[in-house]
Amino acid sequence: MTLNEIVFQITDSLDRPHDPIFTSRVADMVMTNRNVLLHRLFDKNGIDSDYVQQLVITLEPLIGNTPNGINNLKSTTPVPKPLRLLTPTPYLFLGTIDHRVSYQYIKYPSFKHIAQLPLIGNGFKYTVDKDYPIINKANVGTTTLLIEYVSERMDIKLSNSEYATWSGDNQFPIYDELIPTIIDMVRASLRTTKDVANEQIPTTKDQA
């Protein structure tokens, strides 16, 4: 099923299939519950490679307020947030496009003091600040890097540093057997709010 088909099934069952505001909220709830289920499955059984996305980022010098007082490189574009998993790093892989070099993740507070850490200061390291990967000075000759991870945003398709809109008419990226569970989760949540009670929230119909 596609995202639009799932959303229509929910909104139609609640007699509000043509309300754009309500439809948009249901779509967001479907996405959120998909992430919840994948989070549980991946933490329990490991990450399914079918859900791993690749993104090539372009790097530029980090000018001005550098986190550690040395010359760093920063991604020219923010990276959509990764799905929160029980892993010590935000990405499954960050390194050269040929996979020959993998960079080690360091939390931002520690990265600020990397120059004072002689045992690791010259290695291949990265951190993330406000969704922007930052690379340490050991990699000044690098202009592009590859990131592999599971994004929490499936309405964005990652490809060669360009974000192309993912259509709701595409196949929804979730195991087929979990679609009924997602539908039930969204319906249950809506029934506990004013969205489908007698006192409904304002809709486009009310604003007409």
pLDDT digits (tens, 9 = 90+) for 23-64: 999 999 998 999 889 888 888 888 888 888 888 899 988 776
Q: In terms of residues, how long is the chain? A: 208
Band (pLDDT 50/70/90 cuts) for residue 117 is low
Q: Mean pLDDT score of the chain, rounded to an integer? A: 79
Rounded mean pLDDT of 94-99?
91
- Grouping H, G, I as helix, E, B as strand and the rest as coil, residue 152 is coil
Edge to edge, the sheet with strand 104-105 lists: 93-95, 144-149, 53-61, 73-75, 132-135, 125-129, 104-105
Q: Across 30-124, where does the E strand assignment appear?
A: 53-61, 73-75, 93-95, 104-105
pLDDT computed for residue 33 by the predictor: 93
Alpha helices, H only, 46-195: 108-111, 179-191
- Grouping H, G, I as helix, E, B as strand and the rest as coil, residue 193 is coil
Measured in whole angstroms, the distance separating CA 9 from the mean position of its chain's CA atoms is: 25
Rounded mean pLDDT of 85-112?
85
Q: Is the pLDDT of residue 208 over 50?
A: no
- For residues 114 and 162, which has the higher predicted lDDT (pLDDT)? 114
